[in-house]
Amino acid sequence: MADTRLDSLILRLFDVEAVKFGSFTLKSGIQSPVYFDLRVMVSYPEIMAEVAELLWEASIKSGADFKVVCGVPYTALPLATLIAVNHKKPMVIRRKEAKDYGTKKMIEGAFQQGDYCLIIEDVVTTGGSVYETAQSLEAVGMKVRDAVVLLDRGQGGNGRLKQQGINLQSVITLPKVLQVLNHHGKISSSVMAETEQFIVDNTFTNGANTPTQVQPAAAKKPRMQMTYENRAELCQHPVAKQLFSIMAAKKTNLAFSADLTSCQKVLEFADKVGPHICLLKTHVDILEDFSAEFVSSLTALADKHNFLIFEDRKFADIGNTVKYQYGSGLYKIADWAHITNAHAVPGPGVIQGLKEVGGAKGRACLLLGQMSSSGNLATGEYTKATIKMAEDQADFVIGFICTSGLSSDPRFIHMTPGVKLAEGTDSLGQQYLTPQKVIGQQGSDIIIVGRGIYQADDPVEVAKMYKEAGFSAYMSLHS
Ligand code: S5P
C-alpha cells in the first residue's frame, strides 16, 4: 500500500519536472546526471499535501520526539508549515541570511530553551544544509536529534549527520526513484545505470571532502559563521594565519588588484589604499619598468600598511617548468610574493613544482577553482577535481580563486574577483557581482577589486566603500 503511494508520488514528481535527467551542476560544483528541483511543488497543492503527510508519517514511524518543527529554507518551508498546521506543532523559521537590519535573529518564533526541534528538508545530498540548520537552532538553545527528508540522494548525507548526532529519516531514496521511473518506462536502463554509477562515485563517506573529517574541531560551526580570528587559529599555514589575522585586525576583506602598467603607479596606489586592504594583487608581467627596486618598495609598503602581496601569475605548466617560472627569470616571484596562484589543468605536478621552490620560503598558493569570466570552463567536474587537489596539498595550497564557496574547511580561504559596487560586465567577458553578494551570499571570504578602485575619480574614498561593503557583509553573517 505504502509502495503504491510512493510510486504515484514519484511519477507525479517526474510529470511536473521536479526530477530531471541530463547534466546538471550542483551547488557543490559537482556535475550530476539527475537533478531534483522540488521548488515546483508549490504549484501543485495535492503534491504538497501528500509530501507533507509522508514526511510526518516517516518522522512518527521513526519514533522522533519533538516539540517544534523547522523547515530548511526555502523549499522545505511550506512543507514545515503544512505539517505544523495539520498536526498542531509549533514551527520556527530559520533565516537563510541574518538580515543586516532589524532584529538580526537567525531563528524566528517562540520556543523554550532545550526544546527538541524536528528539521524538515526536501533533498539531502551531503547533509550540509540540515547540519547548518541544526547549528542555527542549537545556537539559540534548541536541541536537534531528528531530521526528516523527502528524498535522500544516498550520497553519504545520512552517515555524516549521524556523526553529528542527527538521525535522518527519508521518505524516498534515489535508487527507489530510479527503479520506479524505469519500471514505468520513464527512463531507460542506461540512464538508470549511469545515475547509479554517479551515486557510487559521489558518495561522501571516507573522503577528504567531508568537512567534519578534514577539520573536526572546525566543523563545529559552518565556515562562514566563524570569525577571522577563529580561522586564523585553525590555520596551520603561516601565510593563511597571517592573512586572517590582518583581516581581523584591519577589519577588511578587500584585496586591491593593482593592474597598472607603471611601477610608480602601483606604488602610489599601494600607499594610498594600503590602509584599507588585506592584500594587494599584482600582475608584474604587465609592468613596463619592472625592477628589483620596485619589489623592495612594494615590500616596504606592505610592511608599512600591513597587507600581503599576491602575484596573480596563474601558473599552468608542468611542474618542472613552473619551478623556473616561479623562482627564476626576471621576476623571481617566489622571493617576494607571499601568495601566487595556479590553474589545476596540468594536474597535481604544478603544485608540487611550485612547492619545491616556494615551500621552503614559506610561500603559499591558491588554485583557480572557478573564474569570473563568462563562458569559462572551470566548472563542474573540473572545479571538483581542483578542490580535491587543494585538499591533497593543503600544506602549500591555502585556498581558491572562485566565485562561490567551494570548501567547508575553514582553513581554506576563498577569494573572488569580478567585484564592483553594482553588478554588470565589461566588453571582454568579465562579470561583476557586488561585495554583499560575494561575501554575504556566495560564501567567499575576500573581494578582489581592480578597475572598480583604480579607475574611480577618488580611489581612496571608493576603496573605503568597498572595504565597508565587504566587511559589513561578513559581519551580517555573525549577528
Ligand atoms: O577568474 C578570474 C580570476 C582572476 S585572478 N577573474 C579575474 O578577473 N581575475 C583577476 O582579477 C584579473 O586578472 C584581474 O587582475 C582582476 C579583476 O580586475 P577587475 O578590474 O575586473 O576588477
Q: How far apart are CA 132 and CA 94, in angstroms?
A: 10
| Alpha helix positions (H), 168-284 | 174-183, 189-201, 211-214, 228-234, 238-250, 263-273
Class for domain 2-214, per CATH? Answer: alpha beta
Q: How far is the CA of 432 from the centre of ligand 1 (A)?
A: 10
Closest to 87 in 3D by CA, of 64, 106, 112:
64
312 is catalytic: no
Close Cβ partners of 197 (under 8 Å, ≥ 6 residues apart): none
2, containing H or E segment = helix 2-15
CB 156 within 8 A of CB 204: yes
Compute the average pLDDT of residues 155-175. Answer: 89
Q: Which residue has the higher pLDDT, 353 or 154?
A: 353
pLDDT of residue 98: 52
Q: Which atom of ligand 1 is nearest to the CA of 376?
A: 1
Q: What is the largest CA-CA distance in the chain?
A: 80
Q: Which atom of ligand 1 is nearest to the CA of 372?
A: 1
Question: Is residue 216 predicted with pLDDT exceeding 90?
Answer: no
Compute the average pLDDT of residues 109-115. Answer: 93
Select from 282, 339, 368, 372 the residue to mutate for testing ligand 1; criterion: most ligand atoms less than 8 Å from CB.
372
Write the DSSP symbol of residue 437. Answer: I
Q: How far apart are CA 173 and CA 152, in angstroms?
A: 5
Q: How far is the CA of 218 from the centre of ligand 1 (A)?
A: 30
pLDDT of residue 422: 96
Compute the average pLDDT of residues 74-100. Answer: 89
Q: pLDDT band for position 100 (50/70/90)?
A: very low
pLDDT digits (tens, 9 = 90+) for 274-333: 999 999 999 999 999 999 999 999 999 999 999 999 999 999 999 999 999 999 999 999
143 is catalytic: no
Q: CATH classification of 222-476, choosing from 3.20.20.70, 1.10.3470.10, 3.90.1170.30, 3.40.50.620? A: 3.20.20.70
Compute the average pLDDT of residues 456-460. Answer: 98
Select from 266, 434, 444, 448 the residue to mutate for testing ligand 1; criterion: most ligand atoms less than 8 Å from CB.
448
Compute the average pLDDT of residues 18-47. Answer: 87
Q: Which atom of ligand 1 is nearest to the CA of 419?
A: 22
Question: Is residue 267 predicted with pLDDT exceeding 70?
Answer: yes
Question: Is residue 99 predicted with pLDDT exceeding 60?
Answer: no
- Supply 244's cell numbers: 586572517
**Ranges for all domains in the chain classified under CATH 3.40.50.2020:** 2-214
- Give me the catalytic one of 317, 332, 335, 388: 317
**Ranges for all domains in the chain classified under CATH 3.20.20.70:** 222-476
Least confident of 128-132, 255-259, 373-377, 398-402: 128-132
Closest to 356 in 3D by CA, of 315, 391, 384:
315
Compute the average pLDDT of residues 103-113. Answer: 83
User: Which residue matches cell numbers 573572488?
Assistant: 416
Q: Which residue has the higher pLDDT, 432 or 30?
A: 432
3-class state of residue 192 by DSSP: helix
> What does the mean pLDDT of the chain come to?
91
Residue nearest to atom 6 of ligand 1 (CA): 372
Q: How far is the CA of 371 from the centre of ligand 1 (A)?
A: 9
CB of 417 within 6 A of ligand 1: the answer is yes
Count of H helices and E strands in the chain?
A: 18, 18
- Give me the catalytic one of 241, 314, 388, 464: 314
